[in-house]
């Protein structure tokens, strides 16, 4: 495969990735890009969403261009198939985030009742703020009592069997949005005579509801299936993800604005390198902490290493980057490339976004590939089971595994591309408000005067179908040039960090208004808000603006994008943005285009009903044009 010519590589725009891909080509290491080529041509029924294998009379497929049957064996239409497939994606994505949130809630309960002593309440102020928001009394009560009550409310959001909306959503969602969804439910009942819920009743219940209604012979109505996808996704954004973010801040500390380094150059030739990869910082934060212990430092020195250097990948990397200032090795498509440096002594993974191919690749090196979760076992990996109540001991054992591997490193094979960028990170809602003097009013004033036209939230992954980071970077540059402040999370945030867009000099790339604001506040034009679950921070920022102005989120000049999306979690995020009233751009194409009715609901009807909708566009500049146009239309509607 010759994808690299004259410095151009159709696989990635990242300079470190390009160097590593030259090594991969030379040495014959398999990568996602090579396996993608081997998968061609990919199934067009799958791409359009019109295949169904829900029952054993299938699999059935419908050619949307009219060749062949127009219904599955049971009579299901293309729209039913597309809507059911989409609903299942939303359920899986929501469940992944929410199950992560559940574990944090259970840990908070264990810390509160004293059964876990490896963790503690790291941010009592945040605990008080969350408790007050939930209506939990705080005056004269101990931290443990308050934490116990917060944990109980969070845990109840997962399994409550009542019909009322989940408490976290009720207390956090801006009032006008909550009212709109409630009125919409009532209108749909009145006009159709059928119940169509939008406000989630319990986090687990909405995902189970989708598994039930997409069982053979249940819900075949595309609108009903899309509505439940929205409800389930809202239970993620305003439920599971929100709980994960808020409770992690309480247990692990709230992020502060700080500089970090990003890209493969954070690996150190003379140190034991441990890469943490996945999503749940309950483990990775401990690995970072225990790497500094006298025991681990002495063990590293004993094998001739300078120190234990823990660096991050993907979202668990984002979590430790924000809270502990840990260097960021890269985003999703960097995971194989990191191992190929030959300098990674252990890659420690928890859950989500971990290629199974990493186990094979690690076996070509001295690298220990360590799985830790009962939910993410990978053949060929070394499994060290993580238990929260023995976190210190297990994290130490993991680090010692890396230290033991260090002497086996073949120095002749080590190549660390010397690329890093500085990124100023940690822009939580609290930190943004602090920078603004404690209220959203200065940001609102800047938007009203047009100094900043609006805010774009960008999220999501790398996708082998898009040149790595190209869409992320080009779209972000285009938006800031137009005086649109860009905020975001996940692998997009890592792409922006690697490309220098989160460093102060990047303000030179911004339009005059945004440039002046960045100069005044001493911030970059592109703000890192965290990991995938921290998309809830973006919802909270939108909610703070909406409540301050007493409007709905859908009235604000806000727009979203997932320009290199890959996972089912991205489907859930995009859908809860839409359900919260924010228009969302997607690329690559979502697997819905084979269902004309579903496509119309999501790209057109949703606009009037929810105030948020999806649109697809493959060109970054055209995407920025459309996002700017939406922002300008919303400004005009507000009379600004
Ligand atoms: Fe075919 Fe219907 Fe079974 Fe799907 S549920 S596989 S469309 S028969
Ligand atoms: S890690 S969901 S590839 S952003 Fe959150 Fe990156 Fe997408 Fe996973």
Q: What is the mean pLDDT of residues 317-341?
A: 98
Are 400 and 470 part of one and the same domain? no
* End residue of a domain, out of 394, 413, 432: 413
What is the pairing mode between strands 8-9 and 51-52? unpaired
**pLDDT bucket at 6, cuts 50 / 70 / 90:** low
As a whole number, the mean pLDDT across the chain is 97
Helices within 28-56 (DSSP H only): 32-38, 44-48
pLDDT in tens, 66-109: 889 999 999 999 999 999 999 999 999 999 999 999 999 999 99
Q: Does residue 633 or residue 64 have the better pLDDT?
A: 633
Domain that residue 37 falls in? 31-75
pLDDT in tens, 270-282: 999 999 999 999 9
Judge whether 190 lies within some domain: yes
Are 289 and 374 part of one and the same domain? yes
Are 565 and 497 part of one and the same domain? yes
CA-to-CA distance for 505 and 390, rounded, in angstroms? 44
Q: Please, which residues have CB within 8 angstroms of residue 332's CB and are 6 or more apart in sequence?
A: 314, 353, 461, 462, 491, 566
Judge whether 254 lies within some domain: no
Give me the interface pTM, i.e. the ipTM. 0.95
∠ CA 419-425-430, nearest 5°, is: 175
CA-to-CA distance for 527 and 534, rounded, in angstroms? 13
Ligand 2 mean position to 588 CA, how many Å? 15
Judge whether 225 lies within some domain: yes
The pick from 350, 461, 531 for probing ligand 2's pocket by mutation, whose C-beta has the most ligand atoms within 8 angstroms, reads 461
Eight-class DSSP state of 440: S
Is the model's pLDDT at 268 over the cut of 90?
yes
Are 431 and 541 part of one and the same domain? yes
Ligand 1 mean position to 85 CA, how many Å? 12
Are 201 and 307 part of one and the same domain? no
**CATH number, residue 134:** 1.20.1270.30
Reading the block at residue 558, the tokens are: 């806000």
- Residue 212 has a pLDDT of 98
Q: What is the mean pLDDT of residues 142-152?
A: 98
Closest protein CA for atom 4 of ligand 1: 52
Q: Please, which residues have CB within 8 angstroms of residue 427's CB and are 6 or more apart in sequence?
A: 257, 487, 523, 527, 528, 529
**CATH number, residue 300:** 3.40.50.2030
Is the model's pLDDT at 7 over the cut of 90?
no
Is the model's pLDDT at 4 over the cut of 80?
no
Ligand 2 mean position to 565 CA, how many Å? 8
Question: Got the DSSP string for 145-165?
Answer: HHHHHHHHHHHHHHH--SSSP
- Closest ligand 2 atom to 531 CA: 5
Judge whether 7 lies within some domain: no
CA-to-CA distance for 394 and 384, rounded, in angstroms? 8
What 132-135 contacts at long range (C-beta under 8 Å, 24+ apart), as own/partner pairs, is 133/171, 133/172, 134/167, 134/168, 134/171, 135/171
Are 229 and 320 part of one and the same domain? no
Judge whether 561 lies within some domain: yes
Tell me how far apart the 2 most distant CA atoms of the chain are, in Å. Answer: 74
The pick from 51, 53, 55, 59 for probing ligand 1's pocket by mutation, whose C-beta has the most ligand atoms within 8 angstroms, reads 55
Closest protein CA for atom 8 of ligand 2: 353
CA 554 to each of CA 50, 314, 543, 573: distance values in angstroms, whole numbers, following the listed order? 31, 30, 10, 16
CA-to-CA distance for 237 and 580, rounded, in angstroms? 9
Count of domains observed in the chain: 4
Q: Please, which residues have CB within 8 angstroms of residue 267's CB and are 6 or more apart in sequence?
A: 273, 309, 311, 329, 338, 341, 343, 344, 416
Are 292 and 227 part of one and the same domain? no
Are 608 and 491 part of one and the same domain? yes
Ligand 1 mean position to 88 CA, how many Å? 15
User: Where do the DSSP E strands lie in 224-286?
Assistant: 258-262, 272-277
CA-to-CA distance for 515 and 180, rounded, in angstroms? 36
The pick from 276, 315, 331 for probing ligand 2's pocket by mutation, whose C-beta has the most ligand atoms within 8 angstroms, reads 315
Closest protein CA for atom 7 of ligand 2: 461
Decide: 216 in ligand 1 pocket, CB within 6 A. yes
Query: If 0-12 CB within 10 Å is exposed, 13-18 middle and 19+ buried, where does residue 194 land?
Result: exposed
Q: What is the mean pLDDT of residues 230-242?
A: 98
**pLDDT bucket at 5, cuts 50 / 70 / 90:** low
pLDDT in tens, 542-598: 999 999 999 999 999 999 999 999 999 999 999 999 999 999 999 999 999 999 999
Judge whether 3 lies within some domain: no
* End residue of a domain, out of 214, 247, 280: 247
**pLDDT bucket at 65, cuts 50 / 70 / 90:** confident
Say if CB 252 and CB 411 are below 8 A apart: no
Are 508 and 619 part of one and the same domain? yes
pLDDT > 70 fraction of the chain, expressed in percent and rounded: 99
Task: Please list every protein residue whose CB sits less than 6 Å from any atom of ligand 2.
Answer: 279, 314-315, 331-332, 352-353, 460-461, 490-491, 531-532, 566-567, 569-570
Judge whether 16 lies within some domain: no
Q: What is the mean pLDDT of residues 103-124?
A: 98
Decide: 416 in ligand 1 pocket, CB within 6 A. no
For the beta carbon of residue 301, count every other beta carbon within 10 angstroms: 14
Are 521 and 602 part of one and the same domain? yes
* End residue of a domain, out of 380, 413, 446: 413
- Residue 1 has a pLDDT of 47
Are 287 and 341 part of one and the same domain? yes
Taking the CA of 62 as reference, the closest ligand is 1
Taking the CA of 81 as reference, the closest ligand is 1
Are 223 and 134 part of one and the same domain? yes
**pLDDT bucket at 206, cuts 50 / 70 / 90:** very high
Decide: 218 in ligand 1 pocket, CB within 6 A. no
Ligand 1 mean position to 65 CA, how many Å? 19
Judge whether 219 lies within some domain: yes
């Amino acid at each position: 495969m010759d994808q690299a010519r004259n410095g151009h590589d159709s696989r990635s725009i990242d300079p470190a990735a390009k160097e590593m891909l030259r090594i991969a080509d030379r040495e014959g290491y398999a990568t996602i890009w090579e396996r993608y080529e081997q998968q061609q041509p990919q199934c067009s029924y799958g791409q359009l969403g019109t295949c169904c294998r829900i029952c054993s009379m299938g699999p059935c497929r419908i050619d949307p261009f009219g060749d062949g049957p127009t219904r599955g064996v049971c009579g299901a239409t293309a729209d039913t198939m597309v809507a059911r497939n989409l609903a299942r994606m939303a359920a899986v994505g929501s469940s992944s985030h929410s199950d992560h949130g559940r574990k944090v809630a259970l840990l908070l309960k264990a810390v509160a009742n004293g059964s876990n002593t490896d963790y503690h309440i790291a941010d009592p102020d945040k605990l008080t703020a969350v408790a007050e928001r939930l209506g939990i009394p705080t005056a004269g009560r101990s931290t443990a009592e308050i934490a116990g009550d917060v944990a109980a409310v969070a845990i109840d959001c997962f399994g409550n069997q009542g019909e009322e909306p989940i408490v976290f959503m009720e207390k956090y969602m801006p009032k006008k949005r909550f009212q709109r969804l409630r009125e919409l439910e009532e209108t749909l009942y009145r006009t159709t005579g059928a119940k169509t819920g939008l406000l989630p009743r319990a986090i687990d219940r909405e995902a189970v509801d989708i598994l039930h209604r997409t069982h053979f012979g249940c819900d075949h109505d595309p609108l009903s299936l899309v509505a439940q996808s929205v409800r389930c996704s809202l239970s993620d954004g305003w439920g599971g993800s929100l709980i994960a973010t808020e409770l992690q801040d309480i247990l692990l500390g709230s992020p502060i604005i700080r500089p970090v380094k990003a890209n493969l150059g954070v690996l150190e030739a003379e140190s034991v390198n441990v890469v943490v990869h996945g999503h749940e910082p309950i483990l990775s934060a401990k690995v970072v902490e225990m790497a500094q212990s006298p025991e681990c430092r002495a063990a590293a020195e004993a094998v001739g290493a300078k120190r234990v250097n823990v660096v991050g990948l993907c979202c668990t990397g984002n979590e430790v980057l924000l809270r502990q200032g840990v260097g960021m090795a890269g985003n999703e498509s960097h995971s194989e490339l990191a191992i190929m440096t030959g300098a990674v002594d252990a890659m420690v993974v928890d859950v989500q976004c971990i290629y199974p191919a990493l186990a094979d690749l690690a076996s070509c090196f001295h690298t220990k590939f360590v799985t830790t979760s009962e939910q993410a076992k990978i053949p060929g990996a070394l499994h060290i089971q993580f238990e929260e109540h023995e976190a210190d001991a297990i994290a130490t054992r993991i680090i010692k595994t890396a230290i033991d591997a260090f002497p086996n490193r073949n120095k002749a094979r080590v190549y660390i591309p010397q690329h890093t960028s500085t990124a100023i990170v940690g822009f939580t809602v609290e930190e943004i408000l602090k920078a603004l003097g404690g209220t959203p009013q200065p940001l609102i004033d800047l938007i009203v005067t047009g100094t900043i036209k609006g805010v774009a939230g960008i999220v999501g992954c790398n996708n082998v179908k898009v040149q790595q980071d190209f869409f992320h970077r080009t779209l972000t540059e285009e938006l800031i040039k137009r005086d649109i402040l860009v905020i975001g999370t996940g692998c997009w945030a890592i792409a922006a960090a690697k490309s220098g867009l989160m460093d102060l000099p990047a303000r030179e790339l911004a339009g005059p208004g945004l440039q002046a604001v960045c100069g005044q506040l001493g911030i970059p034009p592109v703000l890192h808000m965290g990991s995938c679950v921290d998309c809830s921070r973006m919802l909270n920022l939108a909610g703070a603006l909406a409540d301050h102005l007493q409007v709905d989120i859908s009235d604000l000049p806000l727009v979203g994008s997932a320009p290199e999306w890959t996972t089912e979690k991205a489907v859930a995020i995009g859908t809860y943005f839409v359900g919260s009233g924010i228009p969302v751009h997607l690329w690559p194409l979502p697997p819905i285009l084979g269902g004309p009715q579903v496509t119309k609901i999501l790209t057109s009807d949703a606009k009037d009903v929810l105030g948020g909708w999806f649109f697809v566009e493959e060109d970054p500049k055209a995407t920025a044009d459309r996002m700017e146009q939406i922002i300008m239309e919303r400004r005009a509607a507000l009379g600004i």
